[in-house]
Amino acid sequence: MVSPASSRDSLFLASFDKLKLDQNRLRFEVEAKAGSGKERILMKKVFVIAIALTLVLSAMAFAGNNPDAKVAVHVMAHSAKRSCTNLFPTIAGCADIVTDYGDYSVDAFPVFFDLQEYLGCEYALCWPDWAYSAAFTSCSDFFLGGIAWPGDGASHTWTVCQYGVALPGWVWLYADGPGTVCPCPHPDFDHIAVLDCAEGLDNPICIFCAGVYGMIGDDPCEPTGTAPSTWSEIKGMFE
C-alpha cells in the first residue's frame, strides 16, 4: 500500500523531472540563438522554471517561517482601470479584507496574511459553475499557470524577499447567481502553500471564502475559517 506522502512525493518528482527537461531544453536554445536578440527572453523562461523547481523541491522539504499563515479572498467592484499599481487594494491585516460583495461583476483577490516573510505562493480558486470564465491578472514578478475556470491553479514567485501581506494578483468574475469564491488546493500539488525566503514551505492553517451576489462570506478576523482537513470538501462544493 502506498502512503499519501509517498504518492505526493512521486508526483513532485515527476514534476521536477519534467521541469528539469524543459530547463535544459531552453538552455540549449539560449546557446543556439546567442546574438539573435532572443536569448534574453529565453533566459527569463529558464529563470521562471528554476523558481518553479524551488517550489517543487520545497514541498518535499521542511516547514517554513509562516506557521500562522492564513488565506482569504478579498472582493470589490470590478474596475476596468485596475492594474497592479492603480486602484489596487491596500491590505495590512484581516480587518482590511472584505469578504462580501452584493453585485455580479467582481474582482477577487487571494490574500495571504499573518506572514513573517514570503518569496512565493501557490493556490487555486474555486467558485460555482457560472457561465463565464474569469480574467486573471498576476502581480508577482513571475508566475506559472493561470485562473480562468473554477479549480485552476497559479504559482507565483518574487525575485527578492517580501514582507507583510501577499496579494499575488486577482481575477475578474461575472457571477450569474449567488455563490462563494474560495481559496482551494492547487490542482497539480493538492495544496495551498507559502514559500518563505529560506525556501521553507507552509500550508495556511485556515482559509476564508468571500460571498458575492447576496451570499455572506467568512470573517477573516475570526478563528472560524475552513481548516486544512476540509479543503477537499471545499473543492467538492464546486464540482
pLDDT tens-digit readout, 100-109: 999 999 999 9
Q: How far apart are CA 40 and CA 33, in angstroms?
A: 10
Say whether pLDDT at 66 is over 80.
Answer: yes
What pLDDT, on a 0 to 100 scale, did the predictor assign at position 63? 80
Look at residue 6 in the predicted model and tell me its pLDDT.
43
Q: What is the pLDDT of residue 142?
A: 87
The pLDDT of residue 9: 45
Give 149's contacts (C-beta < 8 A, 6+ positions apart).
133, 134
Provide the phi-psi class of 145: left if phi over 0, else alpha when psi is between -120 and 50, else beta. Answer: left
**pLDDT over threshold 50, residue 14:** no
- Specify whether 75 is located in the same domain as 134: yes
- pLDDT, tens digit (0-9, with 9 covering 90-100), for 179-206: 999 999 999 888 899 999 988 889 999 9
Q: Do 196 and 78 belong to one domain? A: yes
pLDDT on residue 16? 47
Same domain, yes or no, for 53 and 171? no
In a domain, 64, yes or no: no
In terms of DSSP bridges, do strands 118-126 and 142-145 run parallel, antiparallel, or are they unpaired? unpaired
Residues 14 and 52 both lie in one domain: yes
Please report, for residues 13, 158, 222, the alpha-carbon distance to residue 113 in angstroms, rounded to integers and kept in the order given: 29, 16, 13
Could you tell me the three cell numbers for 84? Answer: 497592479
Is residue 222, in this structure, part of any structural domain at all?
A: yes
Tally the C-alpha atoms within 13 A of residue 46's C-alpha that lie toward its C-beta: 15
CATH number of residue 167's parent domain: 2.60.40.680
Please tell me the predicted confidence (pLDDT) of residue 42.
44
Please state, rounded to an integer, the average pLDDT across all residues of the chain: 80
Residue range of the domain that includes 105? 70-236
- Residues in a beta bridge with 171: 108, 136
Beta strand 105-113 with 169-174 is antiparallel
The answer, yes or no, to whether residue 48 has pLDDT greater than 60, is no
Say whether pLDDT at 53 is over 70: no
pLDDT of residue 184: 95
The predicted model scores a pTM of: 0.76
Please name the helix (run of DSSP H) or strand (run of DSSP E) that holds residue 208, with its range, or none: strand 206-208
CB 77 within 8 A of CB 101: yes
Domain identity same for 147 and 95: yes
Most confident option among 2-16, 20-34, 49-63, 219-233? 219-233
- CA distances for 139 relative to 16, 20, 134, 143, 183, angstroms: 25, 26, 16, 9, 17
